[in-house]
Amino acid sequence: LPRVDPQDAAKHLKHILDDFAAATGLQINFTKTTFIPLNVDPQDATQMASDLATNIFSFPQIYLGLPLSRTNYRPLPSSLSLTVVIPI
């Protein structure tokens, strides 16, 4: 696979999001947006975050006050119970 320049990718993504905003009237609040770079050189990540006008974060990510990570969801199914009601 050809290598994609991370800075070009961030600029293209920003352009796509700006086009989406212009077409729909919906806008992304980049002050509330977080960027989690995976397998990206730290210097490239810093430049990408700058191009996107957002901050760099890492896992666990906090959403609505709750940490997001795969390990947090493993106990969830075991803590749920299912009750089936069959009408007679």
Give pLDDT tens digits along the chain (88 positions). Answer: 567 787 788 889 889 999 999 999 998 888 888 888 888 888 988 998 888 888 888 877 777 887 777 665 555 556 566 666 777 7
What are the residue ranges of helices labelled H in 3-41?
6-24
- Show Cβ contacts of residue 40 under 8 Å, excluding neighbours closer than 6 positions: 6, 48
pLDDT score at 40: 85
CA distance 48 to 9: 8
pLDDT of residue 75: 57
Three-state SS at 62: strand
Residue 47, token pair as written in the block = 């430049």
Percent of the chain with pLDDT over 90: 14
pLDDT at 62: 78
